[in-house]
Amino acid sequence: MNLNAKIVRNVTYLELFRGNRDFRHLFIANWVSNLGDWFSVIALFILAGEQSDGSPLAIAAVIIFRMLGMAIVEPFTGLLADRFSRKKLMILSNFISLSILLIFVYFDLLNSLIMIYIMAFAIMLSRAIYDPARYAYLPNITTREELLTANAVASLGWSAALGFGASLGGFSIASYGVETSLMIDASTFIMSILILTSLPEGGPYQNEINNKQDRRVLAGILEGWNIILTRPEIFRIILAKGMWSVGGGAQIFLLILIGSEAGFGTVATGIGVLYMARGWGSGIGPAVARWVFPKRSKWPSILPFMVMTSGLFYILVGLVQWNNLIIILIFISHATSGANWVFSTTIIQERSSDEWRGRAAGADFMLMSLTSGLSALLAALMLEYKIFDLRETIILTASMQLIAGLMWMKLALPEEKKWIRGNAVSIES
């Protein structure tokens, strides 16, 4: 096969927004919802710290319960994304999240660690419906020339929502309290629902529903996993995408402790500043990477280096004095991890058939959720029982990303290169 086949022309951001109404509406709905999410997430972190006198394990448990909520149901929700209207699933997810928020606020339930964890878990149960549906839906409303740009824009939107949401959420909590922040989040779900109603249904669900045999839930889930496991070209990329979460789940938690100690003002403000750096890095990184690396056949070789670079800059965070410099280091680290996320997501979407793309998404998110949760738990236990201090824990978890990247290069990359050589024309053109 010709490795010099014509490179797919990825449309520009402006072309995508001007020419694709459905993507434009999906982007806005998703961005508004994500913006509000961080008002609630920062609030839960603050509440867990207050209820536990700053216990690392108690704070990390918010992340652990969030990740657990996603991982438990994602094989099932991935199947839903292959069976039913992806648009309606996204609307349903937002409605459930809205209902959960209103119940907890109205009945003033966030007065103990247990209730904080229940809310974190419940919100992510509903989010687990949304993510596979959106993941599988995006190729339904974009062309191949638009898909990479669409994923990059979606990542930039998520990052901007994180950056603004975390900083504004921190300010809102410090100025007006937790209840106000939660109600802001609730209002964003309402806005998102209204926008999503303008989208087409999306997905192969019409055919799936008519197939009574395929409607069996367990059989459908097992079929999806069997497809993924018997297609190494997809499973390898799912693993490559999950490399970041080996240390990344811990880093999401450790940013809270770093922000609390780094001296950027109040605890809420410090957390907001570092999460803002994480968010903007995650968005700008893919935008730069899609320009630097236009050839799809080169992406798998780049993925492990992105993960290792992310780990390297967190090692530096653990070594340097905590001043404004760490904002830059965190920005660069998450820029490379964001590029890894966008490239690997695009590869999985392109290599997956529409009939089982939702289940591929479910497997993808489940692996990342489980790995992230375990990573955060490990870091929290080391700090809680004083096995390592904060800086040592940062360095250790970042080193795990370096090791993961090296292992993937050694064990998976040679097979991936063989597959690419046999499919070079279809990959590039």
Residue 389, both tokens? 């201090």
**Domain coordinates in residue numbering, the chain:** 13-424
pLDDT digits (tens, 9 = 90+) for 154-183: 988 998 898 888 878 878 887 898 999 999
Rounded to the nearest angstrom, the gap between the alpha carbon of residue 264 and the centroid of all alpha carbons in its chain is 26
pLDDT of residue 220: 78
State the DSSP code for 216: -
- Of 234, 247, 239, nearest to 409 (Cα)? 239
Residue 26, both tokens? 């999906």
13-424: what fold?
Growth Hormone; Chain: A; (1.20.1250)
Band of the pLDDT at 215, cuts 50, 70, 90?
Answer: low
Longest dimension (CA), the chain: 64
Band of the pLDDT at 270, cuts 50, 70, 90?
Answer: confident
On whether the CB atoms of residues 245 and 337 are closer than 8 A, the answer is no
Spatial separation of the C-alpha atoms in residues 308 and 228, rounded to whole Å: 26
Q: How far is CA 164 from CA 29, 123, 159, 191, in A?
A: 16, 20, 8, 17
pLDDT of residue 219: 80
Residue 397, both tokens? 């978890």
Residue 47, both tokens? 């509440």
Spatial separation of the C-alpha atoms in residues 308 and 58, rounded to whole Å: 29
Q: How far is CA 403 from CA 244, 311, 312, 397, in A?
A: 11, 9, 11, 10
Q: Return the sign of the alpha-carbon dihedral for residues 96, 98, 102, 108.
A: positive
Band of the pLDDT at 37, cuts 50, 70, 90?
Answer: very high
pLDDT of residue 373: 94
State the DSSP code for 101: H
Total residues found in the chain within this entry: 429
Instruction: Give the angle subtended at the CA of 231 by the CAs of 226 and 232, to the nearest 5°.
Output: 120
pLDDT of residue 67: 94
Q: Is the pLDDT of residue 419 over 50?
A: yes
Count Cα neighbours of 14 within 13 Å in the Cβ-side half-sphere: 0
Residue 405, both tokens? 């990247």
DSSP result, 64-75: HHHHHHHHHHHH
Band of the pLDDT at 3, cuts 50, 70, 90?
Answer: very low
Average pLDDT in the 303-328 region? 96
Residue 404, both tokens? 């993961």
Average pLDDT in the 128-152 region? 93
Q: Is the pLDDT of residue 348 over 70?
A: yes
3-class secondary structure, 86: helix
Q: Is the pLDDT of residue 135 over 60?
A: yes
Q: Return the sign of the alpha-carbon dihedral for residues 321, 323, 324, 329.
A: positive
3-state SS of 330-376 is HHHHHHHHHHHHHHHHHHHHHHCCCCCHHHHHHHHHHHHHHHHHHHH
* pLDDT: which is higher, 354 or 221: 354
How confident is the prediction for the chain on average, in pLDDT?
90
Spatial separation of the C-alpha atoms in residues 40 and 380, rounded to whole Å: 21
Q: Is the pLDDT of residue 429 over 60?
A: no
Buried b (16+ CB within 10 A) or exposed e, 129-162: bbbbbbbbbbbbbbeeebbbbbbbbbbbbbbbbb
On whether the CB atoms of residues 171 and 268 are closer than 8 A, the answer is yes
Spatial separation of the C-alpha atoms in residues 9 and 290, rounded to whole Å: 11
Residue 425, both tokens? 């024309």
* pLDDT: which is higher, 383 or 260: 383
**Percent of the chain beyond pLDDT 70?**
93
3-class secondary structure, 241: helix
Spatial separation of the C-alpha atoms in residues 385 and 392, rounded to whole Å: 14
Q: Return the number of other C-beta atoms located less than 10 Å from residue 207's C-beta.
A: 11
Band of the pLDDT at 268, cuts 50, 70, 90?
Answer: confident
Q: What percent helix, strand, coil does the chain show, rounded to 5?
A: 85, 0, 15
Which uninterrupted H or E stretch holds 143?
A: none
Spatial separation of the C-alpha atoms in residues 367 and 365, rounded to whole Å: 5
pLDDT digits (tens, 9 = 90+) for 282-299: 989 998 998 899 888 899
**Rg (the chain; Cα; Å):** 21
